[in-house]
Structure formats: C-alpha cells, structure tokens
Structure 1
Amino acid sequence: MIDLPRLIDSKLEVGNRVAVLVLDRDDVRNELTGTGLIDDIVQTVDWINSGATVSVLVVTGAGKAFSAGGNVKDMRDRKGSFAGDVYEVQDRYRRGIQRIALAMHRLEVPAIAAVNGAAIGAGFDLATMCDIRIAAEDAVFGSTFIKLGIVPGDGGAWFLQDLLGPQRASELIFTGRLVRAEEALRLGIVLDIAPASELQAQALQLAGSIAEKPPQALRLAKRLLKATRRLDLPDFLDLCAVFQGMCHNTQDHAEAVEAFLDKRCALFQGR
C-alpha cells in the first residue's frame, strides 16, 4: 500500500506508475490563490521526487475549468495573496504561487496537463509548466494578466517563451487574448485535442506508454532535456556521456536489450 500525501483541495490517484492529480475546487474554478492548491501541487511534486514509485504525473481539473488562476475579487479587495505594500506582495508571491513554478521545474518525471476546460492566467501557466499538454475540444487558454494591469508574476513568461519562442509568447502576453483548442494545437501549445469525454482516457494512454519505459532512464532523459536550457553543447555532451554510462550499467538496460533480441516485451524493475 502506497502512503499518499495528505492534500487539501486535490485528489491524487496512483496506479501503474502514473500519478493523477485532480485540482478539486470546481466551486472557484480551481483558482490557485485563496485555495490549498498551491500546497497540494508542491507536496505532490516533493512526494514523487522522494521515491521511485511514479514515472509520470498527470495534472487535470475537476469540473468545467482546468484552473482560472488567481482570485480577481481578492485582487480588487487587496486581500489574501494581493494584500499589503510592495514588499509584502512580492513576499507573498515568492512564498505563494511562485512555489508552483519551482516545484514543477524540479519535478523529476514527465508531466502531462490534461486541460479539461479554461486555463487562464496562472492556470495557463501551470499547463505550460508541464512537459506535454492535451486539451479538451472546448478548452481555452489565456495569458490574461495584462488585461488586469499586471504581469505573469508566477513565472509563466519564462515557461511560455521556452515553449513558443519570444515572438509568439510576446504576442500572447502583450495582448492577453484567448486561444481556443484548435489554435492552441496549431501554435504548438498542445500536443493533441480530444473530445471532453475522452480527454482523461487519452491522457492516461499517453502517460501509460511513457510509464512503461525504464524508470531510471526516463528520469535521466528529463534531466537532459532540462539541461539544454543552461549548458553549452560541449558541457551538455559531457553530461549525456555520464548519463549514458549510468544507463548502460542498469539491469533495465540489459533487460531491454535481451527483450529486443528475443522479440518480447521487457519487464523493467527500476534497477
């Protein structure tokens, strides 16, 4: 029996090396401020990283929205995350919603966002913090901060520019316009679109196809992809060589080679 973290406003299910985190505050469209969702996301990431049980994380929302981001009424009333002077607000961002960006950046396994509805503001940013996004047909995305006279204070501009490049990220952030699923697919925001009734099944199918791969090699592959952002090619190649040496000395690599030669399915043990 796996001991799961105790979450406040989310549900976490684990099976076949796939963890599914469901943001479960449909009453407020799964807003990230004013709920326990920030803590839930951070706690889930740390729990996954602390062991070897999970190979893929799927993030989705309960109800009609993936996440509506921040609470606009709290912004108006200058309370909660948005209360106080300049120092107090920046401190709340650092100790609050920015923890999601740091957590998702340190997540050691692939993450898939199953975007079941509106992903707005920080909700859109959460989706971009995942490695892969699949959207329901009626999903809508928007980096809408500028419309409220603010900027992506959660770090979303870093992830969006990394995903789409400077020009397209600039256009979306400067205009704050909404992007529906078909355009999101065309722009490369999402990998695929699914009927709403099939979204979770499609996301789980993709997650399962990833989770069945050798667990150690999978985590090393994600570390390599992240390293491309900060290393020059010679240093990156050195890291590739070290990681490859690690992989060549695993039991899973030996099993994969034998299974390939025997024309059978491999059985990986994470060793």
Structure 2
Amino acid sequence: MWRGCIKVAVIHTKFYDGVFEIELNRPDNLNALNYELIIHLSEAVNEAKRNPAIRSVILYGKGKGFCAGGDLKDIGVETTDPIALRDFMQKGHEAILGLYRMEKPVIAAVHGPAVGAGCNLAFACDLIIAEDNAVFSEIFAKVGALPDFGGLYFLPKKVGMHRAAEFIFTGKKMSAHTAFEYGFINEVVGNNEALLKGRELAKSLANGPTKALGMAKRIMHQAAHLSLEDVLELEAYGQSIIFQTKDFSEGRKAFAEKREARFLGC
C-alpha cells in the first residue's frame, strides 16, 4: 500500500485509508498563493490524480484562513513581469484543472478567508464544507483585476449570470451562510469543525465505489454542454463500463445478501 506524502515548506500532504490530504501551508500570509506554493500544489494534485491508492481528496489551509488569493508581491505583479505572471497562471491552471477533472471526489474544508484565486480554488472542488467564520469573495474588481483561476466559469455555472455578475462586479464578501443559501457550498458547520467533517466525508467516500463516482463526476461536467439525448448515451456507455467492475459485482452481491458492501475502488 502506498504511504507516501509531500512535505515541503508550503504544502503538506498525508495519506491514510484511501484519503489524500493537501494542506496549504503559508499561515503567516493566510496561505496566499506564491509561485512556490502553486508549483507544489500542482504536484500534489497530479499525485492525487495518478495514484490509484488515493480514492478521495481533501484540501484545506493552515492557520487562520483557507487562502487569501494570489500573493501579488511574489508573482510578478509589482514589476509587471509578464513572463513570471504567465508562468504562475499556467501552474495555477494545472492545479485548478486537476482538481476539477480528477475522477475522484475532492472536498474543500474552508475556514476564514477564501478570496480571489483562493475562492476559486475552493470552487474547483466537488464538495465544500465551510465554517461559520468563512468568507468568500471574488475580490478582483477591488484591485482593478479580472477574475482568474476559473472564477468566470465557476460562478455563472453555480448560480447563473445575474448572481455571478453581482459578486464579480462588486467584489462583495459572502458569509458562509450566504454562500450556502445561494448554492455555492454544501454545508456550514461550527468553527473548528470543517476539517473534522471533511475528513469524515472523505473517508466515507473513499470507502465507496470510487470508479462509479469518478464516472458520474465526468459525465456531470460534460452534461452542462450536451443535450439530454447525449447525456443518456453517455450514461449508457458509462454504465456498461461500471457494470464490469469488481465494485459493481460486490455491490450487487451485498444488496442481495442484505449487508454493507465492501468497495475496493476497482
């Protein structure tokens, strides 16, 4: 069984029971994204994607917040260095796409600020659990910038054009309860509870039929751009693959025997 981890100054990971944890570790900067952090985050996400032992992922920040967005002093903004900024954005895109496309459940456990690129890092995840003290903001307009890291994709997709425009144009802050009310996140929990709840959920999902969950995730992402007929075709194709897995065989047998299934993710 693979038991590896990544432990560098700005990213810590650990693996247990099929769960892969990714911790953003720049607490003195509210986990603001500098070039070093983005590089290692992308590496951690790639590890989660490629390793079959990893069956679910949880992303969170150390210290007083989830992520305060891009570290403007570190990514070429102050010097208007286009090459440094482009490199930073490309690495960020790798991480965002990796989280979004990974055919495994990905959970964000959010506390404190999740703003700018940090907000969109959370929105790239499948499930978001936030504490009472969490604050979400597409803060870009307040510094004269354009939303990045997928904000212009995630917000309209989640809440429609009009509500998305409200938050993108104004950069206003959303409390955890407002974010839940508008459908941005899945659950609000008490302070100091998001990571505990996220770990429980990640472990539960890791024990599930992760091949089927991954296939469902892929088709859901495609469905927004397809007709019902096309989605029905994809469902039939996906089901024909899933029916050949050991997990489906076990699930069918467990159902007949009236017991809990023991899924292996294969």
TM-score by length of 2: 0.92
C-alpha spacing 1:7/1:218, structure 2 compared with 1 (3 Å): farther
CA distance in 2, matches of 1:270, 1:99: 25
TM-fit CA distance, 1:134: 0.8
CA distance in 2, matches of 1:63, 1:6: 17
Unaligned residue ranges in structure 1 (runs of 5+): none
Aligned to 1:180: 175
CA distance in 2, matches of 1:108, 1:40: 20
Choose the corresponding residue for 1:116, options 111, 116, 122.
111
Maintained 8 Å contact 2:107/2:125: yes
C-alpha spacing 1:36/1:94, structure 2 compared with 1 (3 Å): closer
Choose the corresponding residue for 1:256, options 248, 251, 259.
251
Give matches, 1:1-271, under 5 Å.
1-5=2-6, 7-32=8-33, 34-72=34-72, 74=73, 80-82=75-77, 88=83, 91-271=86-266
TM-fit CA distance, 1:197: 2.3
Secondary structure of the corresponding residue to residue 66 of structure 1 = coil
1:63 alignment partner AA: G
C-alpha spacing 1:2/1:86, structure 2 compared with 1 (3 Å): closer
Maintained 8 Å contact 1:31/1:68: yes
Secondary structure of the corresponding residue to residue 147 of structure 2 = coil
CA distance in 1, matches of 2:261, 2:228: 33
TM-fit CA distance, 1:243: 0.9
TM-fit CA distance, 1:83: 5.3
C-alpha spacing 1:84/1:237, structure 2 compared with 1 (3 Å): farther
CA distance in 1, matches of 2:179, 2:62: 21
1:58 alignment partner AA: I
1:12 alignment partner AA: T
CA distance in 1, matches of 2:232, 2:81: 43
TM-fit CA distance, 1:266: 1.3
Maintained 8 Å contact 1:9/1:35: no
**Identical aligned residues as a percent:** 32
1:50 alignment partner AA: R
CA distance in 1, matches of 2:94, 2:234: 27
CA distance in 2, matches of 1:44, 1:55: 14
Maintained 8 Å contact 2:10/2:25: yes
Deviates more, 1:172-181 or 1:229-238: 229-238
2:60 alignment partner AA: T
C-alpha spacing 1:116/1:239, structure 2 compared with 1 (3 Å): same
TM-fit CA distance, 1:173: 0.3
1:11 alignment partner AA: H
CA distance in 2, matches of 1:255, 1:133: 30
Secondary structure of the corresponding residue to residue 76 of structure 2 = helix
TM-fit CA distance, 1:89: 6.4
1:233 alignment partner AA: L
